[in-house]
Chains A and B, each alone.
Chain A
């Protein structure tokens, strides 16, 4: 599975090298020679390490600290998958809402529905949260700063 995600970078670097190969040197030196080709070599090294279990043989990853958070969850895979999909559905729904309804309507609506359905908060609490969001987006930006947000597709 780890190798599978490395394949994503393999495809990206391959496409970048292929797309940039025909450009003049001035344009391709950075994307092709500095980023894509070294990136490809590193991806091949990583794929080899993944395929041969190199890290496991050496007792895990190298020493030192991790630059980023280490992904570690105690949830079972089914619950984790369900919650991840639900989470991204809410987020994508929010983005779609902004596109269709405009940010002034969509974000308070998202907050209200998320708190009510996903968070199982009371109606009153959810409404207060939505009202606060509306005050922030409309009150601060549109009313006080007179900065107009674009209207949604359905209203424009």
Chain B
């Protein structure tokens, strides 16, 4: 696809049976460049001259140019014939018709056959450049939007592949356990039976969490999530989150601590968004902690922003792991995390939410000592684009 696009240069093929005209075109385009503001590119032109329709077709077959300037009236294959030939091929180029017999009929039939523009003879060098500039700019825009479209498709495909994999894994595990239970001879020990049922439930809960996270993320990305901003005290959101995460923390003997100002920490915010942010942070800090560890939620009220910092005393991450952390579905997989379940979408959601407040998510970590996630939320809130 578009392999013929050379960095910074467009190839212009000129087909005209009058030598004087070919040389005039070449002279007019020599050293001429077209600037593309969107990409900051300055496109130079390489001009190739041929003296007939047949030669044009041969040259195009050899190497697809970007722009073709076609004389309408040539002996043998005419400009329109070349257009017809091009029409049958889906080539990534633009054709401009040049003709002395500027009639509306020729213009219409040329346009029907896919000519991008029509340049009546005689023309000044300036008129030629205007026409070529338009064609180059248009082609560059078409190619750019096609590239963006392809990139979007690729990212989407990758997201769905990984998502499918993440959904398949718990299903496979649960299915496997069910087959074990189906084999009535396999499990005679009640402890084994209990362990199997527990694992099935754990994998189910994990899968449901993934689906909920996915819905949260989809709503955030599509902007369809209705935000209800009100004057919040962020300390209340911390209280709610610590209550929610209390049982999980207790089951791992993790102590939940808070450090915050004595007076309300005010922010124009959507309480449910604050809830998702804090639950994400605290739940990660509990999950990736060690047995008997600590989680500290620290609130800071600055003139222009509220800072939420959640620290754990857990397994931490290496600089290399930190580098990969914020990619979708990147769950740091190592021997320390292999039994920890997560959707891999939590941090992506966190970032999206922080950006709704013009804020960001930061992280610092020391392996085997712990990690601190810091979310800054700007006040007054900046609306989503």
Whether both chains belong to one complex is answered with: no
Task: Name B residues whose Cβ lies closer than 8 Å to a Cβ of A.
Answer: none
Task: Name A residues whose Cβ lies closer than 8 Å to a Cβ of B.
Answer: none
